[in-house]
Structure 1
Amino acid sequence: MGEQERAALEALIAEPERIEIHGGDRMWRAHLLGAVMATAAMSFGPAQAEAPEPAPSFVPGAQTTAPGAQETSVAAAMRRAGAQEIATASRSTQVTMYSFPYRATLAGTELRGQVDDYVSANPGLLPPVNGGPGRTGAYIESIAPQIDHPHAWAYASKAPGQTGCVILVPDRAVPEFGDLMRFAGVDRATAAAFVLAHEAAHCAQYSEGIAALRDIALTGRVRPERVASNLLDVRFERLLMVGAPAGELLAKSVERTRSSERYADGFAVLTMLARAAITPRQIDGFAAWREAAAPKDGHDTGSFLRHLREAIAAKPSALAAMRAPGEPGFDAQRVAAFLKPLWKAFEMNELDAESTRPEQKSRDDHAHSSKVPPMTTTAQRFTDQERIALELMLDAPEAVEFHGTDMTWQKALGQVIAPAQVKPSLKDVLMAGSIPVANDLPRGG
């Protein structure tokens, strides 16, 4: 064999995937290929370059194909994160939590089948204000293909004072979670716990706003316990104070969305600190991660997270008070008690700073309040368009909050409202001016 042929053969063995094996005996071909590849591995050692690690999925083990493995992984992660405890912390409403893990590769009838199985397997699902569990399934089916990350959907239920919250968890690998791990220096399990805690805190904060809108729809005023929960964002509270019409209460606002993101991020970070899963210094990593992702998701909570870090540094004993034995390792009520005053004060200072001419703002507020009667004990008068918008908001509030009036939202909402309405609907009740039933009166009244 000549030198040129030897070199060609060595190169061929060095890259065995380029070998072509011909012959009619399939068993012989398989054995020969295995022998060549084994020889190559022993002769030249392992490959020097490793394949790039795939973007981490939301929950460790969530991408396995074993039946029920994803549901088990997500349920365990929710328990570790204390999702139920977070969602029900310091609120005037009763929040019932659900999780919907699903394979993101499914589409069409396959996804519809998985949603139907989920709804039928959860007979306790709270029916939304206008519809039953089927309405919940229709919303999940419409929104699931549009998201690539965990997404909390809170909604007002038919039962007074109760809300439901479904966290949709796709098994798709999300590059942003890899960024979080790098920026904050946390492992995948900690990143997953942070994201789940964040979504659960959204459930708590959203539930109060949804309940307040339901109060307005039925009685024209917000019950005192909603305000006392201290979970309504400051801009929403200001609108209520000046008697803003339903259109303004329902309008999408970047500032209000960011406010809710701040509360959710703050709660999640505090749970991580209380469990000693991160150190206060690592908060800067979370802030940097949010700032880097802001051009894409618009949720820049970095300034508030740094403010939270300073508050922790000024009162280190606060973390000890938030800790609790056993899972999830923190007291959600104490976390909320520490976070809410900081959150509200930060938002109020920001809102005041935005008013470059306070005296002009005061005159504008006075003029506005003179045109729009403030909330009273009598039913507020809504236009037909406002009544319908309010009903849709109560049915799928996050669709309004997250997507506004763009075409994607319109398409998703169109699928949600397609099922036949249950009679009487909230719209019928509102337009008829019905008096709320006795069991919907404020507690203690």
Structure 2
Amino acid sequence: MKKALLVFLAICVTGIITFGTTIDFMMMSGSGARDFINEAVPLFEKETGIKVNVEFTSWGEGWTKLMAMVASGEGPDVTQVGTTWVGALQATGAFTDLTSLEKYFGGEENFLGGPWKTRGYDNRMYAVPWFADIRALVYRKDLMEKYDLPNPPKTWGDLLYSAIFLKEKGEMEYPVGLRGKGNGHYVGSFLWQNNTDIISEDGNEVLLDSEKAFESVKFWADMLGKYKVMSPGLADMGHNEICVSFFNGEVAFMYPGPWFVLKVDRKVSEDWLKSGKIGIALQPGKNENLRTGFVGGSDLMVSVESKKKEAALKWIKFLTRPEIQALLAEKMFVAPTVKAAYQEPFFHQEPYAQMWEDFKVVGDAGSHYPIHPAWGAMERFVPQIIVDIFSSNANGNLNDEKIHTLLKQYNRELQDALDSYK
């Protein structure tokens, strides 16, 4: 009897320890984020007995807080991070190496190919893909059918030919909409679509002073300057304005995420989806075998100083379950990183079912900027070259020589940044 009582007490004490755990989670604020947390956390707490204390912060403040955490060793058990941050954060040593737990999270086969590439460098896993920012070719399918144009455009030649054709037919003056300010991720996409990158595969050399990089930048620069199928007014536009232009019939080709349907009245975008006016496909490549585009988003990382790693890992695994990924998409309209999530009922609701299926295909074939410790210091190249190209066009000196000069300049600057991390 006494022995049984001791066993009972041991179980009770163990239960108290397990069900009394509280972990801290830092999440970036955004549309629907609080609604998601208000539903997800109670589900997790009821299932596990582990409490989650959520701290919301902005993207700008988030990086500052992470750097303070790195310096002090104090911070949340789990944090949401941008995919472009992973390399720099991995290099700090402040986050947990999760490589041995890949199978715990489902392994490579569980995730879309694009997000899986963001998990870390040197074939290590420091970050678990959470939700994806998938950039597809979104285009006027009805116009392609009307004129028997390539549907979808699969190569750069298809895209340029179709844009020039629509311009000459008077459908719109500037058929191609690529953002002219901020992180226009097509800068990377056009490189990957030409089978090159910003940094060599071994991580030692910047590849911008190369013929392939020149061809890649020249292609989109020529759409602005030489062929004039991109508006100079894009210099002052971000995604919001471009998406509005698309639904106003002023743009036929753009590279957004699923959120493009939210940039106008939902009745308008839903009517366009129902009527078949919109096509969604892989971005065109220099040839059909190189169709890819940027896939970023957010990952989850665990502090190396966390004393509650088991609970932290359970929280991450919960957040990557298909039904929770579906809840996240419902509240925040972001794409899942987990393949099985796309089988959840939310993704089969009309008129969005085909849209989500198309974005899943694009996300699986996606690419990402180098996951490298130096990338944080190099990332400014992306918005800056956009500014330089648009400025050169406005000044009347956008030509091959100018593109070569810019790429040589950035190659030197980025190589210096890269060398500083060796």
Q: TM-score, normalised by structure 2?
A: 0.25
Q: Which has the higher strand share?
A: 2
Task: Give 1 or 2 for the bigger CA radius of gyration.
Answer: 1
> RCO (CA 8 Å, sep 6+): is it higher in 1 or 2?
2
Q: Which has the higher helix share?
A: 1
